[in-house]
């Protein structure tokens, strides 16, 4: 099977076709596919979804995907990689971009919940259409500062994608399930703040007895609270090893391991291989 690579931070393509332009393939980058017009079927891994105008699909690295075109279709492909994402890091005091690597982790974490078109918020559909039209216009006309404007439009689009993915999480059926999901979201949001992840602080935040918080979490998630935190941290480590060129000491500092030795020891304990071995394996598969 073909594996497509991206040799620049981002790429935008607009095609109008009567049949699928490529066969089943995998990417080493993230891809957003927007349907400007036309109908057909989109295949992602083992699932297939009917598509129509204003549908937006998210394809993660190493997903298998292709389309079956029923009527003439105009596709908008927006592709970006870790170089682009790392470039969007904004630590300035008044920046409204935030840390893109952190924001997009919600996408990585919940991509398995995706079912077809990711636009679940009906109010976002006209917004996304306007963004896509603007990107096409700037990309085609290439007026002064068009690259900078396209980048801002892409960042807005990524934010809309992140918001809509949150709506793919199954609805809460009762108070207990709701609270356990809220605890999980709290962990995700505060994974870079170890003090807030202490059992006593989680218990205090949700007004649950310290002696009961771990039992409660395990009862509703079938997983130990501290083990869940460790597993989530290691998932974030995997994401960085797969999709960035961050050094081990940088990953360790960001995720509050004592040092890269502590990170390596923990990773190997739970994953069976060292971070370096894991990264080499990922690179070998992509080559």
pLDDT digits (tens, 9 = 90+) for 158-212: 888 877 876 665 544 344 556 777 888 788 888 888 999 999 999 999 888 888 8
Question: Which pLDDT does position 107 carry in this prediction?
Answer: 60
> Of 217 and 71, which is predicted with more confidence?
71
* Site of tokens 């003090």: 195
Q: CA–CA separation, 48 vs 40, rounded Å?
A: 10
Same domain, 38 and 81: yes
User: Could you report the per-residue pLDDT of 41-95, keeping only the tens digit for each?
Assistant: 999 887 889 999 999 998 888 788 889 999 999 999 998 876 676 666 554 444 4
Structure tokens at 187: 């962990």
Question: Which pLDDT does position 196 carry in this prediction?
Answer: 92
User: Could you report the per-residue pLDDT of 107-129, keeping only the tens digit for each?
Assistant: 655 555 556 888 888 889 999 99
Same domain, 17 and 97: yes
Question: Which pLDDT does position 230 carry in this prediction?
Answer: 93
Q: Which residue segment(s) compose the domain that 141 sits in?
A: 2-168
Look at residue 69 and give its three-state secondary structure: strand
pLDDT beyond 60 at 3: yes
Q: CA–CA separation, 160 vs 164, rounded Å?
A: 6
User: Could you report the per-residue pLDDT of 7-37, keeping only the tens digit for each?
Assistant: 777 888 899 999 887 888 888 888 999 999 9
Same domain, 40 and 128: yes
Residue (of 53, 77, 54) closest to 65 by Cα position: 77
Same domain, 19 and 121: yes
Residue 146: pLDDT band by 50, 70, 90 thresholds? confident
> Of 249 and 221, which is predicted with more confidence?
249
Same domain, 243 and 149: no
Question: Which pLDDT does position 101 carry in this prediction?
Answer: 55
Pairing of strands 73-80, 10-17: antiparallel
Structural domains counted in the chain: 2
Same domain, 120 and 187: no
Same domain, 69 and 146: yes
Q: CA–CA separation, 174 vs 78, rounded Å?
A: 39
């Amino acid at each position: 099977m073909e594996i497509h690579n991206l040799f620049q931070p981002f790429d935008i393509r607009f095609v109008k076709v009567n049949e699928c332009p490529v066969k089943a393939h995998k990417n080493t980058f993230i891809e957003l596919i927007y349907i400007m017009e036309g109908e057909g079927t989109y295949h992602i891994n083992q699932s297939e979804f009917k598509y129509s105008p204003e549908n937006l699909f998210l394809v993660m690295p190493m997903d298998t995907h292709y389309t079956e075109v029923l009527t003439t279709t105009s596709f908008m492909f927006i592709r970006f990689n870790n170089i682009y994402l790392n470039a969007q890091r904004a630590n300035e005091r008044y920046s409204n971009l935030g840390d893109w690597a952190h924001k997009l982790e919600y996408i990585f974490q919940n991509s398995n919940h995706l079912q077809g078109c990711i636009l679940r918020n009906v109010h976002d559909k006209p917004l996304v259409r306007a963004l896509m039209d603007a990107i096409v216009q700037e990309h085609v006309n290439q007026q002064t500062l068009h690259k900078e404007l396209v980048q801002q439009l892409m960042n807005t689009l990524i934010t809309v994608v992140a918001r809509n993915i949150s709506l793919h999480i199954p609805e809460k059926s009762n108070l207990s399930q709701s609270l356990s999901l809220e605890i999980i979201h709290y962990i995700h949001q505060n994974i870079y703040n170890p003090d807030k992840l202490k059992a006593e602080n989680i218990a205090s935040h949700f007004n649950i007895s310290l002696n009961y918080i771990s039992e409660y979490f395990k009862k509703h998630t079938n997983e130990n609270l501290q083990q869940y935190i460790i597993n989530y941290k290691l998932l974030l480590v995997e994401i960085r090893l797969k999709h960035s060129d961050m050094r081990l000491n940088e990953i360790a500092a960001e995720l509050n391991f004592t040092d890269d030795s502590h990170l390596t020891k923990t990773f190997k304990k739970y994953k069976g291989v060292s971070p370096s071995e894991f990264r080499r394996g990922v690179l070998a598969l992509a080559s």
